[in-house]
Amino acid sequence: MSQVHTLHRGPRRYSLNDSTATSAPAMVVVTNWVSRIIAAGGASPSANTILTMTVFATGLYDKGIAAKMININCMVPDNITAAITPLIATQGSGSTGVSNTWSNSGFAGTDLSVAGLKGNGSNYLKTGVSPSSVINNNIGLSLYNTFNVSDSRNDFASPATQLIVNYGPGSVYWSCYTDVITGTPFSDNIGFVTGNRTDSTHSYLYKARSDTALTQIAGPGSTPGTSTTYDLWLFCLNNNGSPYGQSNKRFSFAGIHNGLTATEAGILFTLVQAMRTSLGGGYS
């Protein structure tokens, strides 16, 4: 008979069976995440969402990339507070001693669906993570866009570090410490994109979705410039403390992490794809 582990969360409990292959570190991550959602005034996510997040976090640990995750938001569909509360936060909003959620400017429950969180050209989120606080020459950003729009507005950006799904339009744009590389997006702009700088001379851009294995679309980049102290904002550029170029896209995943190799980026995509599939939407 398989053992049953119980995830304690105040007066209610959710059981996670061994058959889901969850890990103790992942359960700690998810318990903390649920506690931060409730502390921020949100309702607890559903049992399926909690289990899905635990399996996702377990994958990050089992595949050896959990330590590279800095601030990861899975945009869960349960409620707006849960959707803006990062699952993993070692820096910035959500981390110890900092606010429980990403700072919300303008998003409401009507902007959230099982497909992700939808920008309207004016709303945005502040992550509290400055690229300069991440190890220099070792940073990456990842986004999963689920809305076909050809705007070239800013998606995930601070003055010197930016990931834009469709820039121009006609290219995926990755600027890491002002070293810019661009690649060809999916024709409908829907899918997973990730930009990663792994050292002082290597910066790569990848894309993936269900019909396309992780593919390098730009790189290796060149010597970067200097980062800034302004934190990364989602759905716009943090233009020295003011929002600029707010996006109309819809994101089902947004992550700040250390630079990932191609193998690690492929692992992250596979885990995100499985996580969103389990949630019932927000993938292609």
Q: What does the pLDDT look like over 201-251, one tens digit per residue? A: 899 999 999 999 999 999 998 877 777 789 999 999 999 999 999 999 999
Query: Is the predicted pLDDT of residue 10 greater than 60, yes or no?
Result: no
Query: Is the predicted pLDDT of residue 172 greater than 90, yes or no?
Result: yes
Q: Which of 101, 131, 129 is CA-nearest to residue 40? A: 101
Terminal-residue alpha carbon distance, the chain: 37
Within 8 A by CB and 6+ apart from 209, the residues are: 186, 190, 191, 192, 273, 283, 284
Rounded mean pLDDT, 113-136: 92
**Predicted local distance difference test score (pLDDT) of residue 63:** 97
**Predicted local distance difference test score (pLDDT) of residue 6:** 38
> pTM of the predicted model, to two decimals?
0.91
Query: Is the predicted pLDDT of residue 116 greater than 70, yes or no?
Result: yes
Structure tokens at 117: 């969180």
Crossing angle of the two packed helices 24-39 and 47-62, in degrees rounded to 10: 140
Amino acid at 217: I
Query: Is the predicted pLDDT of residue 12 greater than 70, yes or no?
Result: no
Secondary structure element (H or E) that encloses residue 270, with its range: helix 262-279
Q: In the structure, what pLDDT confidence band is assigned to residue 109 with cuts at 50, 70 and 90?
A: very high
**Predicted local distance difference test score (pLDDT) of residue 40:** 97
b/e burial code for range 261-278 (CB count within 10 A of at least 16 → b)? ebebbbbbbbbbbebbee
Phi, psi of 202 (to 5 degrees): -130, 120
Within 8 A by CB and 6+ apart from 267, the residues are: 59, 63, 65
Q: What does the pLDDT look like over 50-66, one tens digit per residue? A: 999 999 999 999 999 99
> Mean pLDDT for the chain?
90
**Predicted local distance difference test score (pLDDT) of residue 31:** 97
Output DSSP code: residue 111.
Answer: G
Q: Which of 205, 194, 114, 100 is CA-nearest to residue 156? A: 194
Cα distance between residue 213 and residue 10, in whole Å: 41
Secondary structure element (H or E) that encloses residue 244, with its range: strand 242-244
Q: In the structure, what pLDDT confidence band is assigned to residue 19 with cuts at 50, 70 and 90?
A: very low
**Predicted local distance difference test score (pLDDT) of residue 21:** 59
Query: Is the predicted pLDDT of residue 11 greater than 80, yes or no?
Result: no
Q: What does the pLDDT look like over 20-49, one tens digit per residue? A: 557 899 999 999 999 999 999 999 999 999
Query: Is the predicted pLDDT of residue 171 greater than 50, yes or no?
Result: yes
Query: Is the predicted pLDDT of residue 4 greater than 70, yes or no?
Result: no
Structure tokens at 21: 């292959």
Rounded mean pLDDT, 165-177: 88
**Predicted local distance difference test score (pLDDT) of residue 223:** 79
Q: What does the pLDDT look like over 57-96, one tens digit per residue? A: 999 999 999 999 999 999 999 999 999 999 999 999 988 8
Phi, psi of 16 (to 5 degrees): -120, 115
**Predicted local distance difference test score (pLDDT) of residue 263:** 98
Output DSSP code: residue 25.
Answer: H
**Predicted local distance difference test score (pLDDT) of residue 134:** 80
Q: Which of 66, 217, 241, 244 is CA-nearest to residue 155? A: 244
Crossing angle of the two packed helices 47-62 and 262-279, in degrees rounded to 10: 170
Length of the chain: 284
